[in-house]
Structure 1
Amino acid sequence: MARGPGERAGLSRAAVLEGAREVLAEVGLRGLTMRALARRLGVAPNALYSHVPGKDELVDALLDDHLGHVTEPPADSPDPLAAVAALMTSTYDVLVAAPDLVPLYFARRGARGANAQRLGVTMDGLMVRAGVPARTVPPARVNLIVHAIGSASFATVGGDAAESRAAFTAGLGWLLAGIACR
Protein backbone atom coordinates (compact mmCIF):
# COMPACT_ATOMS: atom_id res chain seq x y z
CA MET A 1 0.00 0.00 0.00
CA ALA A 2 1.38 3.41 -0.96
CA ARG A 3 1.93 5.99 1.73
CA GLY A 4 1.04 9.66 1.40
CA PRO A 5 3.29 12.67 1.89
CA GLY A 6 4.88 12.74 5.32
CA GLU A 7 3.90 9.15 5.99
CA ARG A 8 7.13 7.94 4.33
CA ALA A 9 8.92 9.31 7.37
CA GLY A 10 6.60 7.28 9.60
CA LEU A 11 4.81 10.39 10.84
CA SER A 12 1.20 11.01 11.67
CA ARG A 13 -0.40 14.29 12.64
CA ALA A 14 -0.82 12.92 16.16
CA ALA A 15 2.90 12.13 16.38
CA VAL A 16 3.79 15.61 15.12
CA LEU A 17 1.52 17.24 17.73
CA GLU A 18 2.83 15.02 20.51
CA GLY A 19 6.42 15.84 19.58
CA ALA A 20 5.60 19.55 19.40
CA ARG A 21 4.01 19.40 22.84
CA GLU A 22 7.17 17.80 24.25
CA VAL A 23 9.43 20.40 22.64
CA LEU A 24 7.17 23.21 23.85
CA ALA A 25 7.22 21.85 27.42
CA GLU A 26 11.01 21.58 27.39
CA VAL A 27 12.12 24.78 25.66
CA GLY A 28 9.08 27.05 25.36
CA LEU A 29 7.52 28.72 22.36
CA ARG A 30 10.73 30.39 21.15
CA GLY A 31 12.48 27.02 21.07
CA LEU A 32 9.61 25.30 19.26
CA THR A 33 10.83 25.49 15.69
CA MET A 34 10.16 23.18 12.79
CA ARG A 35 13.85 22.18 12.87
CA ALA A 36 13.76 21.43 16.60
CA LEU A 37 10.61 19.38 16.14
CA ALA A 38 12.12 17.49 13.21
CA ARG A 39 15.19 16.68 15.33
CA ARG A 40 12.92 15.42 18.13
CA LEU A 41 11.04 13.19 15.70
CA GLY A 42 14.17 12.04 13.85
CA VAL A 43 13.03 13.29 10.46
CA ALA A 44 13.98 15.97 7.96
CA PRO A 45 12.12 19.26 8.52
CA ASN A 46 10.33 19.00 5.18
CA ALA A 47 8.56 15.83 6.41
CA LEU A 48 6.59 18.01 8.85
CA TYR A 49 5.08 20.26 6.21
CA SER A 50 2.66 17.62 4.95
CA HIS A 51 1.09 17.72 8.40
CA VAL A 52 1.27 21.44 9.24
CA PRO A 53 2.14 24.38 6.96
CA GLY A 54 4.32 26.13 9.55
CA LYS A 55 4.90 27.02 13.19
CA ASP A 56 1.81 29.22 13.60
CA GLU A 57 -0.44 26.48 12.29
CA LEU A 58 1.40 23.95 14.45
CA VAL A 59 0.68 25.99 17.58
CA ASP A 60 -2.94 26.49 16.54
CA ALA A 61 -3.26 22.72 15.98
CA LEU A 62 -1.76 22.04 19.42
CA LEU A 63 -4.24 24.35 21.11
CA ASP A 64 -7.21 22.95 19.24
CA ASP A 65 -6.12 19.36 19.78
CA HIS A 66 -5.97 20.03 23.52
CA LEU A 67 -9.54 21.35 23.45
CA GLY A 68 -10.57 17.90 22.22
CA HIS A 69 -10.38 16.84 25.89
CA VAL A 70 -13.23 19.16 26.91
CA THR A 71 -16.32 17.18 27.92
CA GLU A 72 -19.35 18.33 26.01
CA PRO A 73 -22.76 18.20 27.69
CA PRO A 74 -25.65 16.67 25.77
CA ALA A 75 -27.26 19.21 23.43
CA ASP A 76 -30.66 18.35 24.88
CA SER A 77 -29.68 18.97 28.51
CA PRO A 78 -32.80 19.89 30.51
CA ASP A 79 -31.10 22.98 31.99
CA PRO A 80 -29.15 24.66 29.18
CA LEU A 81 -27.41 27.23 31.44
CA ALA A 82 -26.25 24.44 33.75
CA ALA A 83 -24.93 22.69 30.64
CA VAL A 84 -23.03 25.86 29.66
CA ALA A 85 -21.59 25.94 33.19
CA ALA A 86 -20.52 22.29 32.86
CA LEU A 87 -18.94 22.99 29.46
CA MET A 88 -17.01 25.99 30.78
CA THR A 89 -15.93 24.10 33.90
CA SER A 90 -14.60 21.27 31.75
CA THR A 91 -12.80 23.88 29.61
CA TYR A 92 -11.24 25.40 32.73
CA ASP A 93 -10.12 21.95 33.94
CA VAL A 94 -8.59 21.11 30.56
CA LEU A 95 -6.73 24.43 30.46
CA VAL A 96 -5.41 24.11 34.01
CA ALA A 97 -4.14 20.62 33.18
CA ALA A 98 -1.78 22.16 30.59
CA PRO A 99 -0.17 25.22 32.18
CA ASP A 100 2.35 25.55 29.34
CA LEU A 101 -0.47 26.06 26.82
CA VAL A 102 -2.47 28.68 28.76
CA PRO A 103 -0.26 31.64 27.73
CA LEU A 104 -0.63 30.54 24.11
CA TYR A 105 -4.42 30.62 24.36
CA PHE A 106 -4.03 34.21 25.59
CA ALA A 107 -1.57 35.17 22.87
CA ARG A 108 -3.79 33.72 20.15
CA ARG A 109 -7.05 34.87 21.78
CA GLY A 110 -8.32 31.31 22.05
CA ALA A 111 -8.29 28.52 19.50
CA ARG A 112 -9.92 28.40 16.09
CA GLY A 113 -9.80 24.81 14.91
CA ALA A 114 -12.49 22.17 14.58
CA ASN A 115 -12.70 21.43 18.31
CA ALA A 116 -13.00 25.11 19.23
CA GLN A 117 -15.66 25.63 16.59
CA ARG A 118 -17.61 22.56 17.72
CA LEU A 119 -17.55 23.75 21.34
CA GLY A 120 -18.62 27.25 20.28
CA VAL A 121 -21.58 25.88 18.31
CA THR A 122 -22.60 23.76 21.31
CA MET A 123 -22.34 26.73 23.67
CA ASP A 124 -24.28 29.00 21.31
CA GLY A 125 -27.04 26.42 20.92
CA LEU A 126 -27.36 25.98 24.67
CA MET A 127 -27.57 29.73 25.24
CA VAL A 128 -30.25 30.13 22.57
CA ARG A 129 -32.19 27.28 24.22
CA ALA A 130 -31.86 29.15 27.53
CA GLY A 131 -33.58 32.16 25.98
CA VAL A 132 -30.51 34.34 25.44
CA PRO A 133 -31.26 36.66 22.49
CA ALA A 134 -29.30 35.62 19.40
CA ARG A 135 -27.61 39.02 19.10
CA THR A 136 -26.12 38.70 22.61
CA VAL A 137 -24.91 35.10 22.23
CA PRO A 138 -21.55 35.95 20.56
CA PRO A 139 -20.44 38.50 23.18
CA ALA A 140 -21.68 36.21 25.96
CA ARG A 141 -19.58 33.36 24.50
CA VAL A 142 -16.51 35.59 24.28
CA ASN A 143 -16.91 36.69 27.90
CA LEU A 144 -17.26 33.10 29.10
CA ILE A 145 -14.16 32.03 27.16
CA VAL A 146 -12.13 34.98 28.44
CA HIS A 147 -13.21 34.11 31.98
CA ALA A 148 -12.10 30.48 31.55
CA ILE A 149 -8.74 31.37 30.02
CA GLY A 150 -8.08 34.20 32.48
CA SER A 151 -9.01 32.07 35.47
CA ALA A 152 -6.85 29.22 34.21
CA SER A 153 -3.99 31.67 33.81
CA PHE A 154 -4.25 32.76 37.43
CA ALA A 155 -4.59 29.15 38.57
CA THR A 156 -1.46 28.01 36.72
CA VAL A 157 0.93 30.64 38.08
CA GLY A 158 0.80 29.39 41.63
CA GLY A 159 -1.39 29.81 44.61
CA ASP A 160 -4.02 27.55 46.04
CA ALA A 161 -5.73 25.35 43.42
CA ALA A 162 -8.94 25.09 45.45
CA GLU A 163 -9.15 28.88 45.86
CA SER A 164 -8.53 29.38 42.14
CA ARG A 165 -11.26 26.91 41.25
CA ALA A 166 -13.68 28.52 43.74
CA ALA A 167 -12.98 31.95 42.23
CA PHE A 168 -13.56 30.56 38.72
CA THR A 169 -16.81 28.92 39.78
CA ALA A 170 -18.10 32.06 41.51
CA GLY A 171 -17.24 34.25 38.52
CA LEU A 172 -18.85 31.77 36.15
CA GLY A 173 -22.03 31.89 38.21
CA TRP A 174 -22.06 35.68 38.11
CA LEU A 175 -21.52 35.72 34.36
CA LEU A 176 -24.25 33.18 33.72
CA ALA A 177 -26.68 35.04 35.99
CA GLY A 178 -26.01 38.23 34.04
CA ILE A 179 -26.35 36.45 30.72
CA ALA A 180 -29.64 34.90 31.85
CA CYS A 181 -30.98 38.35 32.79
CA ARG A 182 -30.11 39.63 29.30
Structure 2
Amino acid sequence: MTTTRKPGERAGLTPEIVFAAARELLAEVGIEAMSMRGVAKRLGVAPNALYAHVVSKQDLVDHLLDDVLSAVDTQVATQDPSSALQALMVDTYDVLLLHAALLPAFLVRQGARGDNARRLGDGVKTHLESASVPAERVDQAVHVLIIHTIGFAAFASHPNIDSNGYEQPPAVLRRDFTVGLKWLIFGMLDC
Protein backbone atom coordinates (compact mmCIF):
# COMPACT_ATOMS: atom_id res chain seq x y z
CA MET A 1 0.00 0.00 0.00
CA THR A 2 1.39 3.38 -0.99
CA THR A 3 0.95 6.18 1.47
CA THR A 4 0.85 9.78 0.32
CA ARG A 5 3.10 11.94 2.42
CA LYS A 6 2.43 15.55 3.31
CA PRO A 7 4.91 18.29 2.28
CA GLY A 8 6.62 18.41 5.69
CA GLU A 9 6.99 14.66 5.77
CA ARG A 10 8.58 14.67 2.29
CA ALA A 11 11.11 17.22 3.56
CA GLY A 12 12.08 14.83 6.38
CA LEU A 13 10.72 17.11 9.07
CA THR A 14 9.33 16.01 12.40
CA PRO A 15 7.52 18.16 14.93
CA GLU A 16 10.63 18.05 17.13
CA ILE A 17 12.84 19.38 14.33
CA VAL A 18 10.36 22.17 13.53
CA PHE A 19 9.98 23.13 17.21
CA ALA A 20 13.75 23.15 17.81
CA ALA A 21 14.34 25.47 14.84
CA ALA A 22 11.47 27.72 15.90
CA ARG A 23 12.76 27.88 19.49
CA GLU A 24 16.23 28.91 18.26
CA LEU A 25 14.79 31.55 15.92
CA LEU A 26 12.46 32.88 18.59
CA ALA A 27 15.39 33.26 21.00
CA GLU A 28 17.32 35.19 18.36
CA VAL A 29 14.68 37.52 16.92
CA GLY A 30 11.78 37.59 19.39
CA ILE A 31 8.13 36.72 18.96
CA GLU A 32 7.22 39.68 16.77
CA ALA A 33 9.95 39.02 14.20
CA MET A 34 9.63 35.24 14.19
CA SER A 35 7.77 33.97 11.15
CA MET A 36 6.91 30.70 9.50
CA ARG A 37 9.04 31.84 6.55
CA GLY A 38 12.00 32.40 8.91
CA VAL A 39 11.62 28.94 10.46
CA ALA A 40 11.38 27.36 6.99
CA LYS A 41 14.49 29.24 5.85
CA ARG A 42 16.40 28.02 8.91
CA LEU A 43 15.40 24.45 8.02
CA GLY A 44 16.12 24.87 4.31
CA VAL A 45 12.57 24.03 3.24
CA ALA A 46 9.63 25.82 1.67
CA PRO A 47 7.23 27.40 4.20
CA ASN A 48 4.41 25.05 3.20
CA ALA A 49 6.50 22.11 4.51
CA LEU A 50 5.87 23.39 8.06
CA TYR A 51 2.11 23.16 7.70
CA ALA A 52 2.22 19.37 7.98
CA HIS A 53 3.14 19.98 11.63
CA VAL A 54 1.52 23.29 12.63
CA VAL A 55 -1.37 25.30 11.23
CA SER A 56 -0.05 28.81 11.89
CA LYS A 57 2.58 30.89 13.63
CA GLN A 58 0.27 31.11 16.65
CA ASP A 59 -0.08 27.34 16.73
CA LEU A 60 3.70 27.03 16.55
CA VAL A 61 4.19 29.47 19.43
CA ASP A 62 1.55 27.64 21.49
CA HIS A 63 3.39 24.36 20.92
CA LEU A 64 6.71 25.93 21.98
CA LEU A 65 5.27 27.38 25.16
CA ASP A 66 3.49 24.19 26.09
CA ASP A 67 6.64 22.18 25.43
CA VAL A 68 8.52 24.32 27.98
CA LEU A 69 5.95 23.41 30.63
CA SER A 70 6.58 19.70 30.10
CA ALA A 71 9.63 20.12 32.36
CA VAL A 72 7.51 21.24 35.35
CA ASP A 73 7.18 18.48 37.93
CA THR A 74 3.53 18.45 38.98
CA GLN A 75 3.99 15.41 41.23
CA VAL A 76 4.79 17.23 44.47
CA ALA A 77 5.66 14.86 47.30
CA THR A 78 3.91 16.56 50.23
CA GLN A 79 0.52 16.33 51.85
CA ASP A 80 0.44 20.01 52.85
CA PRO A 81 -1.45 21.94 50.12
CA SER A 82 0.36 25.19 50.90
CA SER A 83 3.79 23.58 50.54
CA ALA A 84 2.67 21.72 47.43
CA LEU A 85 1.44 24.93 45.78
CA GLN A 86 4.64 26.70 46.62
CA ALA A 87 6.82 23.85 45.29
CA LEU A 88 4.80 23.64 42.08
CA MET A 89 4.98 27.38 41.37
CA VAL A 90 8.69 27.62 42.28
CA ASP A 91 9.43 24.77 39.87
CA THR A 92 7.40 26.58 37.19
CA TYR A 93 9.37 29.79 37.87
CA ASP A 94 12.68 27.92 37.54
CA VAL A 95 11.60 26.26 34.29
CA LEU A 96 10.46 29.59 32.83
CA LEU A 97 13.80 31.21 33.69
CA LEU A 98 15.60 28.41 31.84
CA HIS A 99 13.68 29.54 28.74
CA ALA A 100 13.90 33.30 29.26
CA ALA A 101 13.79 33.98 25.51
CA LEU A 102 10.24 32.63 25.47
CA LEU A 103 8.99 34.77 28.38
CA PRO A 104 7.76 37.60 26.11
CA ALA A 105 5.63 35.03 24.28
CA PHE A 106 4.21 33.78 27.59
CA LEU A 107 3.32 37.38 28.45
CA VAL A 108 1.72 38.07 25.06
CA ARG A 109 -0.25 34.80 25.16
CA GLN A 110 -0.98 35.25 28.91
CA GLY A 111 0.31 31.77 29.64
CA ALA A 112 0.33 28.65 27.54
CA ARG A 113 -2.24 26.33 26.06
CA GLY A 114 -1.95 22.62 25.54
CA ASP A 115 -1.66 19.39 27.47
CA ASN A 116 1.24 20.48 29.68
CA ALA A 117 -0.43 23.78 30.57
CA ARG A 118 -3.62 21.90 31.46
CA ARG A 119 -1.61 19.42 33.56
CA LEU A 120 -0.01 22.31 35.45
CA GLY A 121 -3.37 24.06 35.93
CA ASP A 122 -4.98 20.83 37.12
CA GLY A 123 -2.15 20.30 39.62
CA VAL A 124 -2.62 23.79 41.03
CA LYS A 125 -6.41 23.27 41.19
CA THR A 126 -5.99 19.97 43.02
CA HIS A 127 -3.85 21.57 45.73
CA LEU A 128 -6.22 24.54 46.06
CA GLU A 129 -9.19 22.21 46.40
CA SER A 130 -7.28 20.12 48.96
CA ALA A 131 -6.79 23.32 50.94
CA SER A 132 -10.58 23.90 50.88
CA VAL A 133 -10.44 27.02 48.70
CA PRO A 134 -14.07 27.66 47.73
CA ALA A 135 -14.87 26.14 44.34
CA GLU A 136 -15.98 29.49 42.92
CA ARG A 137 -12.52 30.95 43.67
CA VAL A 138 -10.30 28.12 42.41
CA ASP A 139 -10.04 29.30 38.78
CA GLN A 140 -9.32 32.86 39.90
CA ALA A 141 -6.63 31.60 42.30
CA VAL A 142 -4.98 29.55 39.54
CA HIS A 143 -4.96 32.63 37.31
CA VAL A 144 -3.38 34.82 40.01
CA LEU A 145 -0.65 32.26 40.80
CA ILE A 146 0.23 31.85 37.13
CA ILE A 147 0.34 35.60 36.51
CA HIS A 148 2.56 36.09 39.56
CA THR A 149 4.92 33.34 38.39
CA ILE A 150 5.17 34.41 34.74
CA GLY A 151 5.45 38.08 35.69
CA PHE A 152 8.21 37.52 38.21
CA ALA A 153 10.10 35.23 35.83
CA ALA A 154 9.90 37.90 33.12
CA PHE A 155 11.05 40.53 35.59
CA ALA A 156 13.94 38.34 36.76
CA SER A 157 15.05 37.57 33.21
CA HIS A 158 16.28 41.16 32.70
CA PRO A 159 18.78 43.21 34.67
CA ASN A 160 16.93 44.79 37.58
CA ILE A 161 18.25 47.98 39.12
CA ASP A 162 17.17 48.86 42.65
CA SER A 163 16.42 52.38 43.90
CA ASN A 164 20.12 52.90 44.72
CA GLY A 165 21.23 52.09 41.17
CA TYR A 166 22.55 48.60 41.94
CA GLU A 167 21.63 45.51 39.98
CA GLN A 168 19.63 43.08 42.08
CA PRO A 169 21.15 39.59 42.03
CA PRO A 170 18.99 36.65 40.92
CA ALA A 171 18.90 35.32 44.51
CA VAL A 172 17.20 38.52 45.70
CA LEU A 173 14.61 38.33 42.93
CA ARG A 174 13.98 34.65 43.70
CA ARG A 175 13.54 35.51 47.38
CA ASP A 176 11.06 38.27 46.47
CA PHE A 177 9.18 35.86 44.21
CA THR A 178 8.89 33.20 46.91
CA VAL A 179 7.89 35.69 49.63
CA GLY A 180 5.18 37.12 47.36
CA LEU A 181 4.09 33.61 46.50
CA LYS A 182 3.74 32.73 50.20
CA TRP A 183 1.64 35.87 50.75
CA LEU A 184 -0.63 34.97 47.84
CA ILE A 185 -1.05 31.36 48.96
CA PHE A 186 -1.66 32.37 52.58
CA GLY A 187 -4.32 34.83 51.41
CA MET A 188 -5.98 32.25 49.18
CA LEU A 189 -6.09 29.63 51.90
CA ASP A 190 -7.35 32.14 54.43
CA CYS A 191 -10.35 33.25 52.32
CA distance change for structure 1 residues 46 and 127 in 2, over 3 Å: closer, same or farther? same
Q: Where does residue 147 of structure 1 map in the other structure?
A: 148
Q: Where does residue 105 of structure 1 map in the other structure?
A: 106
How far apart are the structure 1 equivalents of 2:4 and 2:33?
30
User: Where do residues 47-66 of structure 1 align in structure 2 (5 Å cutoff)?
Assistant: 47-66=49-68
Q: Where does residue 10 of structure 1 map in the other structure?
A: 12
Structure 1 counterpart SS, 2:51: helix
5+ residue gaps, structure 1, are none
Aligned amino acid, residue 46 of structure 2: A
How far apart are the structure 1 equivalents of 2:51 and 2:41?
14
Aligned amino acid, residue 178 of structure 2: T
Give the counterpart of 1:167 among 151, 158, 176.
Answer: 176
Deviations 1:115-150 (A, max 9, x none): 101111111011101111111111111110011011
Sequence identity percentage: 48
Q: How much has 1:84 moved relative to structure 2? A: 1.1
Q: How much has 1:30 moved relative to structure 2? A: 2.9
How far apart are the structure 1 equivalents of 2:50 and 2:175?
42
Deviations 1:133-179 (A, max 9, x none): 11111111111001101111110111310011000000000001001
Structure 2 counterpart SS, 1:30: helix
How far apart are the structure 2 equivalents of 1:91 and 1:4?
38
Structure number with greater Rg is: 2
Structure 2 counterpart SS, 1:101: helix
Q: How much has 1:3 moved relative to structure 2? A: 7.2
Structure 2 counterpart SS, 1:100: helix
5+ residue gaps, structure 2, are 161-168
Q: Where does residue 37 of structure 1 map in the other structure?
A: 39
Q: Is 1:20 matched with 2:8?
A: no
How far apart are the structure 2 equivalents of 1:70 and 1:110?
14
Q: Where does residue 133 of structure 1 map in the other structure?
A: 134
Q: How much has 1:7 moved relative to structure 2? A: 1.9
Deviations 1:46-65 (A, max 9, x none): 11001110111111111111
User: Where do residues 82-93 of structure 1 align in structure 2 (5 Å cutoff)?
Assistant: 82-93=83-94
What TM-score, normalized to structure 1?
A: 0.94
- Deviant stretches of 4+, over 3 Å: 1-4
Q: How much has 1:31 moved relative to structure 2? A: 2.7
How far apart are the structure 2 equivalents of 1:58 and 1:2?
26
Structure 2 counterpart SS, 1:43: coil
Aligned amino acid, residue 178 of structure 1: G
Q: Where does residue 81 of structure 1 map in the other structure?
A: 82
What TM-score, normalized to structure 2?
A: 0.90
The number of residue pairs the alignment matches comes to 181
